Each structure stands twice: as C-alpha cells, then as structure tokens.
Amino acid sequence: MTIEELKIQLLQLNPSEKAEAIQTLTSSLSNGSRLITKTAGVCGGDACISNTRLPVWLFVSLRRQGATDAEILEFYPHLTAADLVNVWAYAEAFPHEIETALQEQDEAMEQEI
C-alpha cells in the first residue's frame, strides 16, 4: 500500500476510528505515550490521560484560552507531545462528551462563586 492509498483510506474513517488509528500510530512511535482512559471514581469518570488525573476537557479548555501545545507541555513537563496527540484525537472523536464535561465544570465554578 502506498502513502496516498493510506491517506484516502484514513480520510474515509469516522472520527472515532481516526482517533483509534492515531493512538495506534502514536503508540508504535513513542513508547512513553499514554492513551486516554476512563476510570470509575477518578475525576468523575471523565476521560483522562492514562495513569494521571488530567482530564481531556482540561486541555481543551487550556487550548481555548490560547495556550499552545508547547506551553501546555511546559506547564505539564511529565507529558509528551504524543500524549497531547492522543488528547486532541480523543477530543475530536468525542466532541459532545468534552462539551458536556466543560459545561459541568463551568457550572461547578459558578456555584463556588
């Protein structure tokens, strides 16, 4: 298979399948990258970077506030660029889930005020 043939096939995948393909490629390239997992009782069951308590919605929020990937990696030096690739792929594959989590966080913050 050529790269061009692969590109055509990748473009035909749905967002969830694209996220899975990215995670597979990332895992094969970077042994240190972590996937995205949900664990009952950890961060309310929200999707997090594996073996951390860092939810995907947090990074989406940071990006919306103008943070670049380089700045995020500076804020969280134990993460890798591959970890962020997984975060962005997950957020793209499950936008409704992430929007709901962000809304819940906004509501929680408003209640604290």
Convert 55-83 to b/e letters by CB count within 10 Å (16 or more is b): bbbbbbbbbeeeeebeebbeebeebbebb
Higher pLDDT, 101 or 29: 101
User: How do residues 60-71 score in pLDDT, each as one tens digit?
Assistant: 999 999 999 999
Q: What is the pTM of this model?
A: 0.72
pLDDT of res. 64: 96
pLDDT of res. 65: 96
Residue type, position 107, single letter: E
User: How do residues 91-104 score in pLDDT, each as one tens digit?
Assistant: 998 999 999 999 99
pLDDT of res. 32: 52
| Cβ atoms of 91 and 84 closer than 8 Å | no
CATH classification of 14-112, choosing from 1.20.58.340, 3.30.300.30, 3.30.950.10, 1.10.10.10? 1.10.10.10
| Residue 112 pLDDT greater than 90, yes or no | no
